[in-house]
Amino acid sequence: MGRQWGLAMRAAEQVGCVVSASRAKQPEAGSWSCSGVILSRNPGLVLCHGGIFLPFLRAGSEALAAAEAVFLPGDSCGDDLRLHVQWAPTAADSNGRADEGRPGLCTPQC
């Protein structure tokens, strides 16, 4: 089981990410964030929780209450929604050139 855990941990860490949402015109209004999973790298597809989109729904939370609702298109949220996704680099990324020469650029301010 120990080896299995090791493999599972590596797999989990390679697809884990954090998603943040904010308003383009009102960044001071704060941001909402949650965790997510990278489903595909190229194209980049991420699945995350829907709760952070509540403040951005054009029709308010009522849109989520409809029993028959299975999905809502992206334009259910206002145009001022700004999303960012951050993740740890994969081994391939670390060896690649994407971050070369930019150390510390991503250090977030706590």
Partner 1 sequence: AGLEPSPPARLRGRPLQCPRPAELLLLLSCPAFRAHFERLFGDAEGEQWRFASVAPDDEGSEDDEEDQLRALGWFALLRVQPGPGAAAERGPAVAVAVASPGAVPKGAPLLACGSPFGAFCPDIFLNTLSRGVLSNAAGPLLLTDARCLPGSEGGGVFAARPAGTLVALVAAPLCWKAREWVGLTLLCAAAPLIRAARAALGRLRPSEAALAAFLPPELGTPRALPFRSPEPSWAAAAVLVECGAVWGSGVAVAPRLVLTCRHVAPREASRVLVRCDAPKTVAVWGRVLFATQETSPYDVAVVSLEEALDGIAMPVPTERFSEGEAVSVVAYGVFGQACGPSVTSGILSAVVQVDDTPVMLQTTCAVHGGSSGGPLFSPRSGRLLGIVASNTRDNTTGATYPHLNFSIPITLLQPALQRYGETGDLGGFRELDHAAEPVRVVWRLQRPLEPPRSKL
CA distances to 19, 21, 47, 49, 84 from 25, rounded to whole Å, are: 19, 12, 25, 23, 15
Binding to partner 1 by residue 12, rule CB under 8 A? Answer: yes
Binding to partner 1 by residue 101, rule CB under 8 A? Answer: no
Of 11, 27, 59, 80, the one binding partner 1 by CB under 8 A? 11
Least Cβ distance, residue 30 to partner 1 (angstroms): 6
Least Cβ distance, residue 109 to partner 1 (angstroms): 9
Long-range pairs for 40-43: beta carbons < 8 A, 24 or more residues apart: 41/90
Binding to partner 1 by residue 23, rule CB under 8 A? Answer: no
Distance CA 83, CA 11 (A): 24
CA distances to 12, 14, 20, 21, 42 from 27, rounded to whole Å, are: 31, 29, 12, 10, 29
Q: Please list every residue from 49 through 78 that binds partner 1, using CB under 8 A.
A: 49-54, 61, 64-65, 67-74, 76-77
Least Cβ distance, residue 25 to partner 1 (angstroms): 16
The mark string for 33-52 relative to partner 1 (x by CB under 8 A, - otherwise) is xxxxxxxxxxxxxxxxxxxx
Distance CA 45, CA 87 (A): 13
Of 27, 58, 59, 84, the one binding partner 1 by CB under 8 A? 84
